[in-house]
Amino acid sequence: MNVRLFYPLALAAAMAALLSACNSGSPQDHAVNAGADSLSVKPGESGQLLNVQGKLFSIPSPVQAALLIKKADLPYRQSLPLATDSVQRFTSKDKRALALGMLGADLAYRTVYKDGQAAIKTLRAIEQVSSQLNLSNAFDKELVDAFKRNLSSEDSLLRFSGKAYRAADIYLKNDQQEDVSASVLAGGWIESLFLSLGDATDKLDPKVATRLAEQKNTLGNLIALLSQANTQPELVKQLQGLKTVLDGVKTTYTFVKPTLDVAKKTTYINSATSAEVPPETLNAIVAKVREIRSSIIA
């Protein structure tokens, strides 16, 4: 690098660091700035926060999967979630991010099955991993204490964890750590699927089988996010293998006009869908999910 190029870069970096220090609050600080004025966006600079060619992707919350598992009356398997005393095995940033997502799914699972003590241990493991990812303000002692105080209120616990994970996501995206954000989502998604399979002795519930079949689009979104981040090539490859299997699911969609209740600010989406999963495809999905989960925790 020549001197002429070095000076502007050095000056820019210094000023950017100063600006960044002014703007990047902790994960839970964002509420403090609520009175700030909005900022105008200049032409030509818009869209730089957009993901993947102007598209943003949503990955279903692990809480939804945990609620479905409970609704399907599947037996609670205490040994399925990650062992909370083994999180030190995740030594890289990418693995820790995956683990943080997985622990979020485990927390939801333990919460809906009202295993309060195990949920608190999971939360402590989350605290440990999030601290290694510099996200300790989203999952701090205050959250653990609030969790303990509300152990009897499942709704409050699920809400707390949803808010904490959102605070972490806000922080990560503002800090340009989209790769970590994508890995957290991937970990949560894989763990949710893994938990929904139960253990090897459990028969797959039809509701769960349908939900597995409905993941094709979500998986495509996840692969797009991870591919853009480009930090988990091995995982992307494995997910592409799972997608190939999921492509064997036949889906149909029939549009039905939605109905509206304006007073309740509600739209009822009545379209009909179906997903048909041949047994061999289902078995292949189950095997792939277990394989991917095993390789993450190996």
Partner 1 sequence: MNMRTLISTFTLVASLAFAAGASAQCDTIASLCEKNITAEYIPDGQFYRALLHDDEQAEFNLTLFGGTTYRVAACSGTSDGNLIFSVFDKDRNLLFSNKEYNNDPYWDLVVANTLEVTINAELDPRRSTSGCAVMLIGFKK
User: At its nearest, how many Å lie between partner 1 and the CB of residue 57?
Assistant: 5
What are the backbone dihedrals phi and psi of residue 253, each rounded to the nearest 5 degrees, phi first?
Answer: -140, 130
Provide the 10 A C-beta neighbour count for residue 283. 13
CA distance 277 to 6: 59
Q: State both tokens at 23.
A: 């703007």
User: At its nearest, how many Å lie between partner 1 and the CB of residue 16?
Assistant: 4
| Three-state SS at 254 | strand
Look up tokens 């495809």; give the residue.
Answer: 281
Give the nearer residue to partner 1 in terms of CB position, either 67 or 144.
67
Q: State both tokens at 26.
A: 């902790």
User: At its nearest, how many Å lie between partner 1 and the CB of residue 271?
Assistant: 6
Give the nearer residue to partner 1 in terms of CB position, either 137 or 161.
161
User: At its nearest, how many Å lie between partner 1 and the CB of residue 238?
Assistant: 21
Give the nearer residue to partner 1 in terms of CB position, either 23 or 78.
23
Give the nearer residue to partner 1 in terms of CB position, either 57 or 76.
57
Q: State both tokens at 172.
A: 């990560």
User: At its nearest, how many Å lie between partner 1 and the CB of residue 188?
Assistant: 8
CA distance 6 to 246: 50
Q: For residue 259, list its beta bridge partners.
A: 268
Q: State both tokens at 283.
A: 């078995």
Give the nearer residue to partner 1 in terms of CB position, either 42 or 298.
42
CA 173 and chain centroid, separation: 13
Give the nearer residue to partner 1 in terms of CB position, either 43 or 291.
43
Look up tokens 């996010």; give the residue.
Answer: 225
36: which DSSP letter? P
CA 174 and chain centroid, separation: 17
User: At its nearest, how many Å lie between partner 1 and the CB of residue 298?
Assistant: 26
Q: State both tokens at 233.
A: 């090539």
User: At its nearest, how many Å lie between partner 1 and the CB of residue 157?
Assistant: 10
